[in-house]
Structure 1
Amino acid sequence: MPDYEALKAELIFKAVKSSGPGGQHVNKTASKIILNFNLENSHALSEEEKSRISIKLASRITNSGEIILESGETRSQHKNKELVTIRFLQLIKKALKKEKPRKKTRPTKASKLKRLRSKKIKSEKKITRQKPPL
């Protein structure tokens, strides 16, 4: 498991003006936070962790190897910074979590019978829709 405090130290925050409703307040303050994290140059993660993250979060990583998240949910810059940091850490935890291998199971006798009954009912329904033979 990585050191989350060291990860937090590597984060780069940028405040920008937020879009959307909010009247004059939006026009004056930079409350939206953009979080940048350079995965390739991170010292807090091992090479194995970096490779696992790059595979799992391939759609979220830019060509330059950065993960970019943004938050403009609240009017407070500090609250947005907190929210985006929490979201980033959850994203990293989820990417590093090892999935359990699926165990193959056989269908139960009851499920087989249920499937066959439903097939029988469907076939009878379709037979009744046909024109009677002459």
Structure 2
Amino acid sequence: MRVADGVEIPDSELSLSFVRSAGPGGQNVNKVATAAQLRFDLERSTALASGVKARLRALSGRRLTTEGAILIVARSHRTQEGNRRDAQKRLIELIRRALVAPKPRKPSSPPRAARERRLEGKRRVRSTKRLRAKPAWDE
């Protein structure tokens, strides 16, 4: 399964099974297993780099099983083929999002005007508190 330029996941690392689905399908819904379960073993995969795997683990959320596999369940279509395509499309989109490395944050200092506003506010509070204080007994 081709994900992006230079990234391809072999079919041997994917496992597809079909189970009975709730939802639309009429009487067929009780007879035919149309919901697709696509399982991708992230821990044993050799197609992805370790950094991509770490980002994918973070993005997967509750789709990540305790064994370290990503489980995507598609049941929005009435046919096995439609659900299979939907599950594959969702896995590809998830992996593509993990392929993009986040930009490192550049630390910045607050602008001079912001510093001045902050200090002016502090001065205002200071003068207000000075007015509240009892006068000194300097004679």
Report the TM-score when normalising by structure 1: 0.67
Q: 2: distance between equivalents of 1:108 and 1:90?
A: 43
Q: 2: distance between equivalents of 1:45 and 1:65?
A: 14
| 1:56 to partner: Cα distance | 3.9
Q: 1: distance between equivalents of 2:26 and 2:8?
A: 37
Q: Is the 8 Å Cα contact of residues 30 and 77 (structure 1) preserved in structure 2?
A: yes
Query: Who is 2:85 aligned against?
Result: 82
Query: Who is 1:70 aligned against?
Result: 73
Alignment equivalent of 2:48, drawn from 42, 45, 50: 45
Q: Is the 8 Å Cα contact of residues 39 and 50 (structure 1) preserved in structure 2?
A: yes
Q: Is the 8 Å Cα contact of residues 24 and 78 (structure 2) preserved in structure 1?
A: no
Query: Who is 1:19 aligned against?
Result: 22
Query: Who is 1:35 aligned against?
Result: 38
Q: How many residues align?
A: 111
Q: Deviations over 1:17-65 (max 9, x none)?
A: 1112432010111111001111111121233332332344354322111
Q: Is the 8 Å Cα contact of residues 59 and 94 (structure 2) preserved in structure 1?
A: no
In structure 1, the gaps of 5 or more residues are: 114-134
Using the aligned pairs only, state the percent identity: 36
Correspondence 1:3 to 2:12: no
Report the 3-state secondary structure (helix = DSSP H, G, I; strand = E; otherwise coil) of the residue aligned with 2:28.
helix
Q: 1: distance between equivalents of 2:111 and 2:79?
A: 54
4+ residue stretches of structure 1 with deviation over 4 A? 105-109
Query: Who is 2:57 aligned against?
Result: 54
Report the TM-score when normalising by structure 2: 0.65
Root mean square deviation, CA, Å = 2.8
Larger CA deviation: 86-95 vs 47-56: 47-56
Q: 2: distance between equivalents of 1:105 and 1:31?
A: 56
In structure 2, the gaps of 5 or more residues are: 118-139
